[in-house]
Amino acid sequence: MDSPIDFFDSLPDPRIDRTRLHELKDIIFITIAAVLSGCEDWNDIELYGKAKESWLKTFLKLPHGIPSHDTFNRVFAAIDPGALEKCFVEWVQQVAKISEGQIVSIDGKRLCNSGADGKKSIIHMVSAWSNANNMVLGQLKVGDKSNEITAIPALLEVLELKGCIITIDAMGCQRQIAETIIDKGADYILALKGNQGHLLDDVTEAFKETAVGLKHTDMQQEVSHGRVEKRSCRVMDDLEWVCKKEEWKNLKSIVSIETERYHKHNGKTEQEVRYYISSLPADAAKLNAAIREHWGIENHLHWSLDVVFGEDQSQKRAGNAAQNFSIITRVALNIIKNDKKSKISMKNKRHKAGWDNNYLLNLISMKI
């Protein structure tokens, strides 16, 4: 597989000539290597570089030694995040194999301490996640005066999604987003809440009036973490119940998921009903599995970023530093998640990368 480092060669250097004491590629390499090795802030990265300086000099230029933590901060605060994201997406598209029917989940996440005093101007990122590839496919910052509704179409535009099934929570249940997905040659499954006028009422009423006799049904059961979960999926392709259905491009089915969770430790049972619209034909088993897979973005991406990489504790606030560091973190996450040879936890893989230079180089070169 291709190393991500090679894809940053085209990244424009934001510094003026007289301030370029350190090669941009050296700064990028040290940062990725340090994050892979467990570092989570600029001070960590400087200390890592100094500890590994002799080894790093065997293949990096380092004309003025290891940059200071202030230099790392200034450079990443100045780098154009759009250009950095473009390099990231080009790398992912080179290494990820997108196949027909693959689920791509899109969801937002706040970088909780990225604003002044950890409260103001909190950065919100929208990411696309592929369970099949175990990778972040791309991400985009939500504009300061906008929301996920405007960021999601922009993210969709930069990704190769032909033949994929795009799953999004209720914030993304928008006509423009559905149209963008279809225009990209993909299909959609969009969660419904009360943000689309009477659409949720129409779908709820449809399933209420046809409570029995539906031909498209599926039930899945899962036992894990001390609980038993049953998911019953019912699908209708009779859309006469849906007013203004023609406004939703290629709308073909509506979906009801009834979830029942039994907790063994306390004997309690929880029940929930969720509704969706989709451009897919009425195939209950396929839709049930796809909707279940959507939660991989929470379990495999957001959880890993918070617990393994400590993203919510990050306080990188200068310029574009927080946004750009989040891209580097996702580079590291993609690399570590695709290391299939080391049968150890992600946390221990980061420790091993810090201790074992050969293992680190194998990770970065994607010889895994």
pLDDT given at position 112: 62
The SS3 call for residue 231 is strand
pLDDT given at position 190: 97
Yes or no: say if 34 and 55 are a contact pair by the CB < 8 Å rule: no
For residue 92 the two structure tokens come to: 């992912």
Q: Which of 360, 230, 226 is nearest to 288 (CA)?
A: 230
For residue 263 the two structure tokens come to: 């907790």
pLDDT given at position 177: 95
Q: Which residue has the tokens 């006028």?
A: 197
Edge to edge, the sheet with strand 123-130 lists 135-141, 123-130, 103-111, 165-168, 187-192, 269-278, 253-263, 227-236, 216-224
Q: What is the mean pLDDT of each run of 10 residues along the chain (368 residues)?
A: 84 91 96 96 96 96 96 95 94 87 91 55 84 92 74 92 94 94 97 84 90 82 85 93 93 95 87 96 96 88 87 67 92 93 93 96 79
pLDDT given at position 368: 46
Yes or no: say if 192 and 130 are a contact pair by the CB < 8 Å rule: no
pLDDT given at position 118: 47
pLDDT given at position 366: 67
pLDDT given at position 213: 64
CA distances from 368 to 34, 193, 308 (A): 18, 42, 20
pLDDT given at position 42: 95
Yes or no: say if 332 and 339 are a contact pair by the CB < 8 Å rule: no
